Amino acid sequence: MSSDQPFVLRWGIISTGAIAAKFVSDVLIDPRTRAVGDVVHKVAVIGSRDAAKAKEFVNKFGRGDRSIKAYGTYEEVYADKDVDAVYIGTPHTHHYQNSKDAILAKKHVLCEKPVTSNATELKSLMSLAKENGVFFMEAMWTRFQPLACAFKRVLEDGRLGPPVSLRADLSDDLDIENLPTSHRILDPKLGGGALLDLGPYPMVWAIMTMYEHPDNKGEEPGHIAASMLKTPITGVDATTTFVLTFNRTLKAQAILSCSITLPKTRPGANIRFRNGNIIIDAPIYKPGAFTVEYFDKLGSGNVETSETKEFSYIGGGWHFQADEVARCIRDGKLESSEWGHDKSLLEMKVFDEVRRQGGYKFPDGVEQVLG
Ligand SMILES: NC(=O)C1=CN([C@@H]2O[C@H](COP(=O)(O)OP(=O)(O)OC[C@H]3O[C@@H](n4cnc5c(N)ncnc54)[C@H](OP(=O)(O)O)[C@@H]3O)[C@@H](O)[C@H]2O)C=CC1
Ligand SMILES: O=C1OC[C@@H](O)[C@H](O)[C@H]1O
């Protein structure tokens, strides 16, 4: 193959749930429709706990590709020689075991958010991935969308000055009164509740804005304050608010919230800098636009200029993270420089602490590795 041929990444898919369908649909879109010419994706294998579901998934989402294999166990996916990377779309509390099995089979892994149930599980996977020489990343798709890349460029040009305060919320009224208690959103055995499902999204904006800020020097927040409101249905958190104070070198505060009993709020995020603001549309997992406001002079609050940047593309937005995985694997990297292990680890440490303060303990046996 000549070097100007795109790199082909062959995926094995674990689970036939809602997000696996979205991921597969996106990676099967011709990458040239998003101006990507250096990588392409091949879905090689679908794995389900039920062979009939896997076959049905291939028929429904495989775009007529008759070479896609359908398996009735996940183990067959890990063992398949035609698979380079495994995408894991199972419920949160299965991510650790599924990732571990894939890594031990020497497959690269892209695992849905939240990457594990707790920080200790994640640390164990990070070590295992390094020992086995495979790439490992949490599927933090928002970070790879064109809007997030443009947002980072605005932060990096420095005109806004340092960030001081950020508010970000991801809420969605999931009609929990009418969901079965076995649904992954309600069942504590599946890590149910707002924090683990929706909390990664306010976190990603805080991480991009504050944790990654050069003045922060890679410090974790020095203080975390959290409160959870539980649903009486199963006791998982329905609404959670947590405040991260970056008080070590950067002096900034992120006020983050999520809810499964409220509709989305507008805007999704509001970030205040010494010299202006950034306002991000809802929903913050895939905003369509953001507005940058610049003050006439430092700290005045008078908006002199403002610019709104809008984004659209073909597909749901899950393919950009897949392109990142393909490029990293092609280049022999074991982690992404945009969403590396340290960022997922910070997320999981924060979630552990928020659950501790909120009194949300998983049932015994859910966490596979305890700290
Ligand atoms: N990035 C994003 O935008 C999104 C990410 N997610 C994340 O993806 C994960 C899955 O969510 P979602 O697709 O909505 O969930 P679904 O319930 O729709 O699908 C989960 C799938 O996991 C498999 N599975 C394995 N073990 C279990 C189990 N014990 N109970 C239920 N299902 C099981 C099943 O596939 P099978 O029977 O074929 O084995 C099932 O279809 C979550 O961690 C969530 O946070 C979810 C939505 C959006
Ligand atoms: O990751 C997600 O983003 C979109 C939400 O609707 C979904 O519940 C969540 O899992």
What is the side-by-side order of every strand in the sheet holding 223-230?
223-230, 237-246, 252-259, 163-171, 269-273, 276-280, 289-295, 303-310
Contact (Cβ atoms closer than 8 angstroms) between residue 89 and residue 23: yes
The tokens for 61 are 């989402």
Residue 113 alpha carbon, nearest atom of ligand 2: 1
Which residue's entry shows tokens 């597969």?
24
Q: Is 145 in the pocket of ligand 1 (CB under 6 A)?
A: no
Q: How far is the CA of 294 from the centre of ligand 2 (A)?
A: 32
Q: Is 138 in the pocket of ligand 2 (CB under 6 A)?
A: no
Contact (Cβ atoms closer than 8 angstroms) between residue 84 and residue 9: yes
Tell me the pLDDT of the chain (371 aa) as tens digits. 446 899 999 999 999 999 999 999 999 999 999 999 999 999 999 999 999 999 999 999 999 999 999 999 999 999 999 999 999 999 999 999 999 999 999 999 999 999 999 999 999 999 999 999 999 999 999 999 999 999 999 999 999 999 999 999 999 999 999 999 999 999 999 999 999 999 999 999 999 999 999 999 999 999 999 999 999 999 999 999 999 999 999 999 999 999 999 999 999 999 999 999 999 999 999 999 999 999 999 989 999 999 999 999 999 999 999 999 999 999 999 999 999 999 999 999 999 999 999 999 999 999 999 98
Q: How many helices (H) and strands (E) does the chain have?
A: 10, 14
**Helix 341-358 crosses helix 119-131 at what angle (to 10 degrees)?**
160
CATH 3.40.50.720 in the chain is located at 7-141+322-334
Q: Is 172 in the pocket of ligand 2 (CB under 6 A)?
A: yes
Q: How far is the CA of 332 from the centre of ligand 2 (A)?
A: 31
CATH 3.30.360.10 in the chain is located at 146-310+347-358
Fold observed for domain 146-310+347-358: Dihydrodipicolinate Reductase; domain 2 (3.30.360)
Q: How far is the CA of 197 from the centre of ligand 2 (A)?
A: 6
Decide if domain 7-141+322-334 falls under CATH 3.30.70.1900.
no
For the entire predicted model, the pTM comes to: 0.98
